[in-house]
Amino acid sequence: MSDPAERGARERILAAAVDRIASDGIDDMRIARVATQAGVSTSLVHYHFETREALLAEALEYSYELTGDVRIGEGEGEAADHVERLAGLMDQFLPYPGHLQKDWILYVELWLRAVRHPELRPTGVRLYGRMRDWIADAIAAGIDDGAFKPDADPVRSADRFIALADGYGVRVLIGDLDIDYARREVWAGLVHELGLPAEPPPPLDGVHEHAGSQT
């Protein structure tokens, strides 16, 4: 796809598909609604994606990459030390109102889809691998600098951290748990093995930016 205009339409369609999945659910995504939202005709959607399945698969791949980039790219840079950096990473994994919440809804849809469609599992595994590396690297850097316990196991800690964030996060998303409680508990899961302060530092500015608009 070398023509920039065509590439633009393709991306718009993928972005629209991701959006429809987040609001309607993966099984209820309709080509006509995707086309309307992307501002293209249904025949252009069919030109780029032969079948509904092909569009779904590519939209999921696209959103996995996007979610991964958002999660993995943000929350860094402003942190003063390893403890603050780790807390910043944690906040990227929790469904704060706003874009993180929307990513999360998509995320749950992706899990669901990957379970029923084995061909999507490698994409999911790749994303989890990237997240694991990202967290494990941050922990290893903290160990090297003497900020975390020297005998900590970065990969095991990262695995437990991601699982706790997923398990608490989905309960927050459903309205079963309060996000501040979830945040403290995910943190508590790492306190002993990394030698962290018992309470996490407060969330960095930005994570809460949309918090006022939703309950």
Partner 1 sequence: MSPRPRLDHVRRPELLQAAANVIRRRGLVNARVTDVAEEAGTSAPSVLYYFSSKAELLNEALTSAEERFYEELAVRLEGVESALEQLALIVEWGAAGGDYDAALWMELWAQALRDPELAATRAELDGRWRRTIADVVSYGQERGEFGPTDPERFAVLMGSLLDGLSVQIALRDAEVTPARVRELAVTLAERELACTLPEAAGAPG
Residues that bind partner 1 (CB under 8 A): 25-28, 105, 108-109, 111-112, 114-116, 118, 121, 124-125, 128-129, 132, 156, 159-160, 162-168, 170-171, 173-177, 185, 188-189, 192
Question: Closer CB to partner 1, residue 91 or residue 204?
Answer: 91
Question: Closer CB to partner 1, residue 9 or residue 59?
Answer: 59
Report in angstroms how near the CB of residue 29 gets to partner 1 at its nearest.
10
Q: Are 92 and 138 spatial neighbours (Cβ–Cβ below 8 Å)?
A: no
Tokens 């608490």 belong to residue: 168
Q: Are 209 and 126 spatial neighbours (Cβ–Cβ below 8 Å)?
A: no
Q: Is 100 exposed, middle or buried (0-12, 13-18, 19+ CB in 10 A)?
A: buried
- Cα→Cα distances 74→16, 112, 115, 180, Å: 23, 26, 28, 20
Question: Closer CB to partner 1, residue 26 or residue 83?
Answer: 26
From CA 61, how far away is CA 53, in angstroms rounded? 12
Question: Closer CB to partner 1, residue 80 or residue 116?
Answer: 116
Question: Closer CB to partner 1, residue 4 or residue 175?
Answer: 175
Report in angstroms how near the CB of residue 166 gets to partner 1 at its nearest.
4
- Of 15, 1, 4, the closest CA to residue 48 belongs to 1
Question: Closer CB to partner 1, residue 7 or residue 30?
Answer: 30
Report in angstroms how near the CB of residue 54 gets to partner 1 at its nearest.
17
Report in angstroms how near the CB of residue 213 gets to partner 1 at its nearest.
18
Report in angstroms how near the CB of residue 19 gets to partner 1 at its nearest.
15
- Of 104, 95, 48, the closest CA to residue 207 belongs to 95
From CA 63, how far away is CA 3, in angstroms rounded? 22
Report in angstroms how near the CB of residue 142 gets to partner 1 at its nearest.
20
